[in-house]
Amino acid sequence: MSEPKIAEMSFEDALKELERVVQSLEGGQVPLDESIALYERGEALRAHCEGKLRDAELKVEKIVASASGDQASGTAPFDAG
């Protein structure tokens, strides 16, 4: 069973992997030792996903364009008014 590094996984991939873990566990076909390893991997995946969701925060900036208008030279606070 190949196990990519969870820390590098996208939310979507981690969630899909968690789905697979849950289905394997629910299927009840895996040996007990392996189930415990799966369970722990599921825990790590859940924590990873939760981390991605927890960091969510709305931050709005506007682009300050260069004189030519086609390059972003920086950002400034944005107020939609």
Partner 1 sequence: MSLIDDTPEGTNAPELTVSELSRGIKRTLETTYGRVRVRGELGRVTFHRNGHCYLDLKDENAVLAGVIWKSAIGGLDIRPQEGDEVIATGRITTFAGQSKYQLVIENLAYAGEGALLARLERLRKQLAAEGLFDPAAKRPLPYLPRVIGVVTSPTGAVIRDILHRLADRFPVHVLVWPVAVQGPQSAPQVAAAIRGFDALAPGGSVPRPEVLIVARGGGSVEDLWGFNDEAVVRAVHDCRIPVISAVGHETDTTLIDHAADRRAPTPSAAAEMAVPVRAELVAMLADRDARRKSALAQMLKQKGQRLRDVARALPRPSEIIEVRRQRLDLAAARLPRPAELTKARRQQLALVATRLPAALNRAVAVARIELTRRSGRLGVAHLAGRVERGRERLDGWATRLVPAARRKLASASDRLSAQTRLLGSLGYRQTLARGFAVVRGEDGDVVTDAASLSGGTRIAIEFRDGRASAVTEGSGAASRPRGKSGGSSGGRQGSLF
78 binds partner 1 (CB under 8 A): yes
When the beta carbons of 6 and 15 are compared against partner 1, the nearer one is: 15
Euclidean distance between CA atoms 55 and 3, whole angstroms = 25
Q: Could you give the angle at the alpha carbon of 68 between the alpha carbons of 65 and 70, nearest 5°?
A: 55
39 binds partner 1 (CB under 8 A): yes
77 binds partner 1 (CB under 8 A): no
Euclidean distance between CA atoms 25 and 35, whole angstroms = 6
Instruction: Answer for the pair 70, 58: CB distance below 8 angstroms, yes or no.
Output: no
- Closest separation between CB of residue 79 and partner 1, Å? 9
- Closest separation between CB of residue 48 and partner 1, Å? 10
- Closest separation between CB of residue 1 and partner 1, Å? 16
